[in-house]
Every structure is written in C-alpha cells, then in structure tokens.
Amino acid sequence: KRHLLSAGDLTRDDAELVLRTAEELRSLADRPIKKLPALRGRTVVNLFFEDSTRTRISFEAAAKRLSADVINFSAKGSSLSKGESLKDTALTLEAMGADAVVVRHWASGAPHLLANSGWVRSSVVNAGDGTHEHPTQALLDAFTLWRHLGNLDGRRVAIVGDVLHSRVARSNALLLKTLGAEVTLVAPPTLLPVGVENWDVETSYDIDAVLPKADAVMMLRVQRERMNAAFFPSAREYSRRYGLDGRRMGTLQDHTLVMHPGPMIRGMEITADVADSDRSVIVEQVTNGVAVRMAVLYLLLSGNESDFGRTAPAAP
C-alpha cells in the first residue's frame, strides 16, 4: 500500500507484518547505536495542524532511527496563520521533495484528501484526523497487546470513556476485530456515537459488568476541547461512573492490562495509583509507538515496490 489512512484498510496479513517488523525493529532500542540506514536519502515531513506530544515525537524518532531526513511542520508559526490552504501547504511540501507526509489535522478526512487529491506524490500517513481515525495508535496498541497476550483471537478488549470524540476508539475497534479480538465499548449514552451499532462491537453503559471479563482495558480521555461547554461532564460524577480507580482495578483478572493512549487526565478517567501501577502498560505503549512507526515508514518507503504483506526488513 502507498498510504496508511485507516486501520480498516489493513488486512490481517498487513497488520501482522507491521507487528512482526516492529518486533524486529524494537530490539534496536537496546543497542548502543540505534540507527539503521534503511531510509537514507528519504525525507519524512511531519505535518501537524493539531497539538501532539507522543505521535509527533515518535514519528520523528522513528524516521531518524531509519536515517531519513525529517522536516517538522506545525501549524503554529507557519503561513497557515496568513490564510494558506491545505492545498498550497501540500504543494510546498511536494516542491521540497517529501517522500512521506505524516499528517495530523483537526478535520476528519484531511489525510484522505491529501492522498487522493494528486497534490502530493508522497505516501500519506494519518497521524490522527479529527474524531475519525488514528491508525498508528491502533497498531501500537495491538503491538503492546500482542507482546503481552500473544495471538489476539478471542481476547476481550474493553474501550472505556469518550468514544464519541475518539479516533483511537474507532481505529482500535477496526484493527482489533481484524486481529480476531472481541471489543466492548463502555461509555455513557451521551458519549457513544450515532451509528455505533454498525461498528461490529458490543456496547455497555456498565463498566463494572465489563471489567472482570476483559483481557485489556483501554481508558480514553474525555475530550473537552471537542465538546460544547454546556455538555462537560462533571469530573466527580464521570470518575464515579466510568473512571478506573484502585477498587475497580481489583476486579480485573490477574493478567489484564491497563492501557491509555495519552494524554491522560489523572483523577478523571484514571486515578494516579492505577496509571502508575504494575498493571499499567501506558509508558510501554509510548516505547512501542516508536517501533511501530518505524515499521510503518519502513514498509511504505523502503524500495519502490514496497507493499504491506510482501516485504520485511533484514534482522538489524
């Protein structure tokens, strides 16, 4: 494939190739020299119209560890403030010779527009578009689950919280189903999206009924910046009904993983003692994000004919 726009575009073979490739590349982190020459001479542009800590930095680290040149573009401080359009921004990047554009945008569908417009010849990677999708987050979450639980067939994953505004939830639901897992979305009725019945997942309003059966629990941030202030849930009421605290963690099975894509609001969807507990793999998710993004860039960019499903890197 030339682009990575949606987790739903990945076949099981595609996704498993990313996971296997990420596993090989992850071992680089333990070496004194963390670089491979695989993408020497290639240019990766990080095009971020919305704030990011983990995704932007891990794409930069991933590209650099594969010896690519990296250009970081963020909306703040750019000519966007002077009214420049996505098209003219894209044409500018094309003129600078980008081989891959990693794009985060507040508008759902912006990466698809970039990929399908003909404005750029480069590969486009969706790094989060509005409330729509975040496919590399889903891949790094699947990688983290796979490293701990092995094959995901029949594994039960609960995704809890503000599903309505979560691109992470949608991409995870798509990818986890492809990998054979069972997904349950847990949220108040007001934070489940219209049409969720077409997602091929279970839904529940009752976190306490779902937690004891889960193999992993993904907590989602309440995205106040995407809500009308009149509909902000009260932190106390939300955490009482849907937060993961020490008492609820006690109802999990011994092997169950606690996950969060970040950024977290400690005390709202997750308490600090749970986030910092030995059940939590939240920091490991960030580490795994670098390996997974290396795998994605490698599979998209190494060789003209590279295609998910066909190529894998030589052992480092």
Active-site position among 3, 42, 65, 104 = 104
Q: Which residues contact 108 (CB under 8 A, 6 or more apart)?
A: 129, 130, 131, 132, 133
**Catalytic annotation present for 165:** no
Active-site position among 134, 156, 165, 177 = 134
Under DSSP, is residue 302 helix (H, G, I), strand (E, B) or coil? coil
Check the annotation: does 77 bind a ligand. no
Whole-number minimum distance, CB 239 to ligand CP, in Å?
20
Q: How far apart are CA 281 and CA 275, in angstroms?
A: 8
Check the annotation: does 97 bind a ligand. no
Whole-number minimum distance, CB 101 to ligand CP, in Å?
16
Check the annotation: does 271 bind a ligand. no
Could you tell me the CA-to-CA distances from 245 to 53, 156, 233 in Å, in that order?
25, 20, 18
Cβ closest to ligand CP, residue 55 vs residue 126? 55
Q: How far apart are CA 227 and CA 196, in angstroms?
A: 19
Check the annotation: does 134 bind a ligand. yes
Active-site position among 21, 43, 55, 136 = 55
Give φ, ψ of 129 to 5 degrees.
-120, 110
Active-site position among 1, 2, 20, 54 = 54
Cβ closest to ligand CP, residue 36 vs residue 105? 105
Looking only at the bridges linking them, the beta strands covering 182-186 and 123-129 are unpaired
Widest Cα–Cα separation across the chain: 56
Cβ closest to ligand CP, residue 221 vs residue 279? 221
Element (H, E) at 205: none
Binding site for ligand CP (CB under 6 A): 52-55, 128, 134, 137, 261-263
- Tokens for 261, please give them: 């894509």
Whole-number minimum distance, CB 124 to ligand CP, in Å?
17
**Catalytic annotation present for 105:** no
Ordered DSSP codes for 270-292: B-HHHHTSTTB-HHHHHHHHHHH
Cβ closest to ligand CP, residue 246 vs residue 263? 263
Whole-number minimum distance, CB 41 to ligand CP, in Å?
27
Let me know: does 183 contact 177? Beta carbons within 8 Å: yes
Cβ closest to ligand CP, residue 52 vs residue 204? 52
**Catalytic annotation present for 213:** no
Whole-number minimum distance, CB 221 to ligand CP, in Å?
9
Give the annotated binding-site residues for carbamoyl phosphate: 54-55, 104, 134, 137, 262-263
- Residues known to be catalytic: 54-55, 82, 104, 134
Give the annotated binding-site residues: 54-55, 82, 104, 134, 137, 167, 221, 262-263
